Amino acid sequence: MCRKTEGRTEGPGRCALRHSPLIPTFRLSVLPSFRLAVLPSFFLLLLFATPLVAQDTTLEASRRRLEEIRRERDRLEQQQQRLQGQVHDVNDELSNLERQRESTQRIVSEIERQIGGLASQLDRSSAELILAEDNLAERRAVLERRLVDIYKRGRLYTFQALMAAESFGDLLSRYKYLYLTSRQDRALVTDVERLRNRVVSERNTILDVRGQLDRSRQEREAEYAKYTELAHTRERRLQQLQQSARNTERRLSTLQKDEARLNGLLAALERARREELARGSLRGAVAGPGSITTASLGKLDWPVEGTIVYRFGRDTLPSGGIIRWNGIGIAAPVGTSVHAVEAGKVRLVGQFGTYGLTVVLEHGNGYYSVYSHLQAAAVKLGATITKGAQVGTVGGENSDYGPHLHFEIRGDNQVALDPTAWLRKR
């Protein structure tokens, strides 16, 4: 029943508003319940957010290590290309391939670590998405109830609540209550919007992480293929080196035999020269001076213009074998004229094993010059030629060094001399 006030009986609407469950005495129980409903979700989000920050830091560090390892492997690949284009110790190339393989294995391990981290991040993001969706559903249900309640009360509820105040103090209390209720409703709408955005963000994060996982798995497969390729390359290179070692051994053996033959030939020529001199001295003939003497050091003309592709002494063949050259190799185009460094007598014209087409000139005093890897000879056996006369043309295009002239100077007792010490300085 409604009581009388100053002799007047309250109307049903005024009485209903005064006894409504939304009067100020009820507001204190409404607002704390809203805060208590939000707090658990807030703390759970904090618990999930902290591991994700640490996980992102770990993944970023792993990506930096991965880039460093890849840069190291790129450097090794460039080094391998340089090694393949120059004479080198084959152990360097094998070591390079092994280091590339180790780098690739480290890359695979780093990618595996990233995949594990991304999988953990995916699990956390999925759990957080479920939590956010549950919270969103809960807050939406609360919002729907509030909207239904507001709709049922009608548009004039606020004015009716204020007009039903019995005093100025009651008016202030009702206004404060309506203000707090309005702020609570706005916070509820904001919370629903925030949770909705959170759900969208988590879904996008999951899509991004899944994309990263797919890319990482593809990278892992590519690195596995790279690792397999490097292993096969190393195996093939080992087989090639073994075959090359056998070929080089046979070639060095042949070179040694040909060198021994040349030494024997020069020794025979020198004996014949000395015997001829001895017979001439018995007849009273006087031996003429040789065209090459120690005074010729650093004064002889070059037999052909070109760069030196190998020098006198110990050297490493392109195939990896070790050899001692008794002369020098001078690169020149095929067919370039080769000239005598001094006047002399032709003592050999013909094929000479691994030396190829060879011409040997005798210069007296036990000195000989040797011109090998010729394409063609321009002199005949026994002929006497002058300094600068054409001996032949450059050949050797099928050799390891390409077209070049092999040139030697032999001294007393067929000792090989360094030609660069006898030729003019360039």
**How do residues 283-334 score in pLDDT, each as one tens digit?**
554 344 568 888 889 999 999 999 999 999 888 765 566 778 999 999 999 9
Give CA–CA dist 391/348, Å, rounded. 11
pLDDT digits (tens, 9 = 90+) for 336-351: 999 999 999 999 999 9
User: Residue 371's pLDDT is what?
Assistant: 97
Q: What are the residue ranges of CATH 2.70.70.10 in the chain?
A: 288-421
Q: How confident is the model at residue 219 (pLDDT cuts 50, 70, 90)?
A: confident
Q: Is 263's pLDDT higher than 90?
A: no
The more confident residue out of 328 and 365 is 328
Mean pLDDT of 99-122: 83
User: Residue 375's pLDDT is what?
Assistant: 96
The more confident residue out of 328 and 231 is 328
Quick one: residue 301, left, alpha or beta (phi over 0 = left, psi -120 to 50 = alpha)?
beta
Q: Report the share of the chain in percent with pLDDT over 90.
A: 36
User: Residue 74's pLDDT is what?
Assistant: 73
Give CA–CA dist 114/60, Å, rounded. 9
Which tokens is 244 given? 């090359």
| Nearest Cα residue to 185 out of 371, 319, 49, 27 | 27
Average pLDDT, the chain: 79
Question: Which of 84-93, 220-229, 329-338 is modeled with the greatest confidence?
Answer: 329-338
**Domain 10-246: assigned CATH number:** 1.20.1050
**Domain 288-421: assigned CATH number:** 2.70.70.10
The alpha carbon dihedral of 102, 104, 106, 109 has a sign of negative
Residue 424 main-chain phi, psi, to 5 deg: -65, 145
Lowest mean pLDDT among 20-29, 99-108, 188-197: 20-29
The more confident residue out of 284 and 167 is 167
Q: How confident is the model at residue 91 (pLDDT cuts 50, 70, 90)?
A: low
Q: What are the residue ranges of CATH 1.20.1050 in the chain?
A: 10-246
Whole-prediction pTM value? Answer: 0.47
User: Residue 54's pLDDT is what?
Assistant: 57
Helix (H) or strand (E) holding 228: helix 168-282
User: Residue 25's pLDDT is what?
Assistant: 38
SS3 state of residue 392: strand
Q: Is 37's pLDDT higher than 80?
A: no
Residues forming beta bridges with residue 406, ordered by sequence position: 329, 372
Q: Is 31's pLDDT higher than 70?
A: no
Question: Which of 128-137, 234-243, 338-347 is modeled with the greatest confidence?
Answer: 338-347
Q: Is 379's pLDDT higher than 60?
A: yes
User: Residue 208's pLDDT is what?
Assistant: 85
Q: What is the CB neighbour count within 10 angstroms for residue 74?
A: 12
